[in-house]
Structure 1
Amino acid sequence: MSPFFIKAIQLLLSLSLLIVLHELGHFIPAKLFKTRVEKFYLFFDVKFSLFKKKIGETVYGIGWLPLGGYVKIAGMIDESMDKEQMAGPPQPWEFRSKPAWQRLIIMLGGVTVNFILAILIYAGIAYTYGDKFIKADSLKDGFHVSNTEIGDKLGIQTGDNIITVDGNPVKEFSKLPLEIINGSQFTIKRDGATITKEIPVDFIAKLLDMEEKTSFIEPRVPFIIADVPKESHNTGIDLNKGDEIIAINNQKVTYLDQILPTINQNKGGSVLLLVKSTTGQEKTITAKINENGKIGVVRNIDYTELEKRGLLTIETIEYSFLQSIPAGIHKGVSILSSYVKQMKKIFNPKTGAYKGVGGFGAIGGLFPDQWNWGAFWSTTAFISIILAFMNILPIPALDGGHVMFLLYEIITGKKPNDKFMEYAQLAGFIILITLLLFANGNDVYKAIFE
């Protein structure tokens, strides 16, 4: 199956699960407080539904527009903008007739379920898979700056080790790029010296302009051959699986990054390689370099082997059932905190982070192009946290907007009138549509021009 369809199926399955559970977060407390729920919908049913069935007082259905879902609670100004119902006298089963604290619980139900769901998923992942990562402070000879333009912008170079970001040690190497994106300063160790550097305010904009959207730092690895494809321009030379390049043009090397400059200088030509086999035997080979600066082999990156060589340390953590629960909570809080930091960057025009805002295309891109249940659940948990955060923003038409007005009512004892709520809801819709168009417009622009 096409990678596009695999991603699309995962996106649809994930959003369907999250939307249904989010709306259940509203539906269940509404029913507990004897509030009538007229509709429970997955996706929006503009003009018509793909499916609907009335059970009791509630119509359950599936709409055709996959932009979300909703529960229509009687006596509430919501997505339906049902002014006729609101014109009549309040009924005891209506939302507007319930005490403010009950209405607050109903409105907070959705985001609460989303966050709890994320924690449960992360706990399940911890229990099932555990944690396995390269310790950030364990790289023997520092990291490789794979994008020198980004490295120059940050003031880092190959061989550096980042020891803290904003004063906090980073335990997992894979999290370093994100911590730098979210941070304002970092400390590196270079040639025995400790140096603190400020992260440029427009660093994110520079990162988004990268042609290849890959990490700008990676562990330093030796050049070990995994395979020489049949279509390679070096087919037939004595290169075999497991061979390691230990010198190029009579220059001894340990890492790939030490080999690349010589390869780039000899595009379209050839180089002399000193290669060590898995048995320890050394041989000298002349290899051609194509116009793109490639030898034409597949590299093998085995971090377990690198750990055996003492080049880095891999930490493995296994969790019991009870240990997985606090691990899930910690992961959920950590992801939420990171996302809040990113949102702060987005709302600061100087960072250029708004260029990275994406819609459904960007969300779909979070999923792998091959089916992997661990990756699916991890991405679903992340999206659940995003939905929780976005929904609690104090924007009318979102749960957070209703919560904002309910808190005002609880504090002041005054309830906003229905006409004001109608206008606020309409304003909220305009804001949401604008954000939706901007985010998905960014996706379209990137697809066409990048």
Structure 2
Amino acid sequence: MEIAIKLSQFLLSLSILIILHELGHFIPAKLFKTRVEKFYLFFDIKYSLFKKKIGETVYGIGWLPLGGYVKISGMIDESMDTEQMAKDPEPWEFRSKPAWQRLIIMLGGVTVNFILAFIIYIGMTFSYGEQYIANSEVKDGIWITNPVVEKVGLKTGDKLISIDGEKVNRFYEANEKIYLAKEIMIERDGKVGKVSFPTNFISQLMDGKKQSLVELRLPFIVTDVAEDSHNKAVLKPKDIITSFNGKPVKYVDEVLHSLDSLKGKTVPVVIKRDGKEINASLKVNDSAKLGLAYAFRIPYDNIEKLGLYKVSNKQYGFLESIPVGIDRGFKQLGNYGQQLKAIFNPSTGAYKGVGGFAAIYNIFPNTWSWETFWSITALLSIMLGVMNLLPIPALDGGHVMFLLYEIISGKKPSDKFMEKAQMVGFVLLISLLLFANGNDIYKAIFNK
């Protein structure tokens, strides 16, 4: 069932993005009286799951969910229809239209992607408002959950002040910014200090296990106990360990840091259960484990119920949602631009994190949440828009590049040149897809 939910979200999001992107090309093409031969969701190599001709256009659904396309008459695209291009131009063909019209048609897809993302962020702001924990509320500092972050100099208990000169206002914005950080200002033991990050920090993260970087410090809340654990008879889900080995503990990290020195020992603990305190003993095995799972991140509602941190809630009217949603969209666009810049800088090692369709599929959760679904879809829409603007001939950005050259120089590249450029772009695009999806396979095998 969980796989079905995850797959449904993936296919629905992909379908929305593809259909709207292709509509971005289709609508201006029709407005400029350019013939559109095919409009397809997914690729129809050899056969289609569904197709129907309405007017001059065949609408269909292919069987390969790796994208979609519109086939515009008189345009050199991935179909490489050289037979059509060998004939004299017809008035309804793409190549017969003025350069400015062709430019609008080619920019239509990415324009829709960006507009869609901003509309989603505005809608989410209006529907859900904003819920966050202010960084100033994190009185006892952060919990370092990734050993790579600890290796570069951050420690559990540090208070984040700024990342690359930008003040940290909301706690959960920190993870995203730390990935690309060069310098972080912190407060440790009442003193302000600086932690510098190496250029290859992302590479180090990619080489390790996939896990978050920093989290809120939480109490030791038991979520599950292994069947073969020595502590199975002692602990129950929702138990909270408040004292460990004779010492009061406020946070789970305090317990975890003491386990290595207690291998094979039985230690006294105090457990809070249903509002009552219970004295008990727990066995630490030879691997410095307790044989149980604990809360790593908990919902905002539970954070408030437990009185751990103050959760801020902001609700917006429709008009108020517009500038807030637009600002959120621009921030995501800027963040993705920074990520893309890091990917194209080999020294960062960020290219190791490039993923294909499996990586996109894994972004979606196993449970259905419309808020999460729309948040992911908006981000993917931005990614699709930016990627399609890359100046690779097989992508929209490649066509735009040649059209801008034509408009500026007054010279139109020959059809033969465009055919060769399209072939080179297609090879580059296939190489990128193989690399991204190959990364998925490698991580699935070696980074378990």
TM-score (norm 2): 0.92
Q: Is the 8 A contact 2:146 2:211 kept in 1?
A: no
2:402 maps to 1:397: no
Aligned pairs for 1:18-37 (under 5 A) are 18-37=17-36
Which of the numbers 311, 323, 328 marks the counterpart of 1:326?
323
Q: Is the 8 A contact 1:139 1:311 kept in 2?
A: no
In structure 2, relative to structure 1, the CA distance for the partners of 1:241 and 1:183 (3 Å cut) is closer
Q: Which moved more, 1:323-332 or 1:285-294?
A: 285-294
Find the counterpart in structure 2 of residue 186 from structure 1.
184
Q: Which moved more, 1:284-293 or 1:426-435?
A: 284-293
SS of structure 1 residue aligned to 2:208 = coil
Q: Displacement of 1:15 after TM fit?
A: 1.1
Q: Displacement of 1:406 after TM fit?
A: 0.9
Q: Distance in 1 between matches of 2:247 and 2:11?
A: 53
Find the counterpart in structure 2 of residue 59 from structure 1.
58
In structure 2, relative to structure 1, the CA distance for the partners of 1:59 and 1:283 (3 Å cut) is closer
Q: Distance in 1 between matches of 2:57 and 2:94?
A: 15
In structure 2, relative to structure 1, the CA distance for the partners of 1:260 and 1:26 (3 Å cut) is same
Q: Is the 8 A contact 2:145 2:211 kept in 1?
A: no
2:244 maps to 1:256: no
Q: Is the 8 A contact 2:180 2:202 kept in 1?
A: no
Find the counterpart in structure 2 of residue 420 from structure 1.
417
Find the counterpart in structure 2 of residue 140 from structure 1.
139
Q: Which moved more, 1:415-424 or 1:120-129?
A: 120-129
2:284 maps to 1:289: yes
Q: Distance in 2 between matches of 1:72 and 1:307?
A: 54
Q: Distance in 1 between matches of 2:304 and 2:314?
A: 16
In structure 2, relative to structure 1, the CA distance for the partners of 1:398 and 1:236 (3 Å cut) is closer
SS of structure 1 residue aligned to 2:378 = helix
The number of residues matched between the two structures is 445
Q: Distance in 2 between matches of 1:44 and 1:246?
A: 57
Amino acid at match of 1:387: L
Aligned pairs for 1:214-363 (under 5 A) are 214-225=211-222, 233-237=230-234, 244-276=240-272, 279=275, 282-296=277-291, 299=294, 301=298, 312-363=309-360
In structure 2, relative to structure 1, the CA distance for the partners of 1:303 and 1:123 (3 Å cut) is closer
Q: Displacement of 1:308 after TM fit?
A: 7.5
Amino acid at match of 1:418: D
In structure 2, relative to structure 1, the CA distance for the partners of 1:74 and 1:226 (3 Å cut) is closer
Q: Displacement of 1:449 after TM fit?
A: 2.2
SS of structure 1 residue aligned to 2:143 = strand
Q: Is the 8 A contact 1:221 1:306 kept in 2?
A: no
Which of the numbers 162, 165, 170 marks the counterpart of 1:164?
162
Amino acid at match of 1:185: E
Q: Distance in 1 between matches of 2:260 and 2:322?
A: 50
Q: Is the 8 A contact 1:150 1:206 kept in 2?
A: no
Q: Displacement of 1:255 after TM fit?
A: 1.8
Q: Is the 8 A contact 2:42 2:69 kept in 1?
A: yes
Q: Distance in 1 between matches of 2:419 and 2:262?
A: 69
Q: Which moved more, 1:321-330 or 1:54-63?
A: 321-330
Q: Distance in 2 between matches of 1:438 and 1:7?
A: 24
SS of structure 1 residue aligned to 2:109 = helix
Q: Displacement of 1:333 after TM fit?
A: 1.3
Amino acid at match of 1:179: K
Q: Distance in 2 between matches of 1:31 and 1:99?
A: 14
Q: Which moved more, 1:305-314 or 1:436-445?
A: 305-314
Q: Distance in 1 between matches of 2:40 and 2:29?
A: 15
Amino acid at match of 2:79: S
Unaligned stretches of 5+ residues in structure 2: none
Find the counterpart in structure 2 of residue 200 from structure 1.
198
Find the counterpart in structure 2 of residue 429 from structure 1.
426
SS of structure 2 residue aligned to 1:432 = helix
Q: Is the 8 A contact 1:142 1:160 kept in 2?
A: yes
Q: Is the 8 A contact 2:148 2:205 kept in 1?
A: no
Find the counterpart in structure 1 of residue 383 from structure 2.
386
Q: Distance in 1 between matches of 2:306 and 2:52?
A: 64
In structure 2, relative to structure 1, the CA distance for the partners of 1:182 and 1:93 (3 Å cut) is same
SS of structure 2 residue aligned to 1:365 = helix
Q: Displacement of 1:227 after TM fit?
A: 6.8
**TM-align CA RMSD:** 2.3
TM-score (norm 1): 0.92
Q: Distance in 2 between matches of 1:418 and 1:129?
A: 51
% identity of equivalent residues: 58
Unaligned stretches of 5+ residues in structure 1: none
Q: Displacement of 1:274 after TM fit?
A: 3.3
SS of structure 1 residue aligned to 2:393 = coil
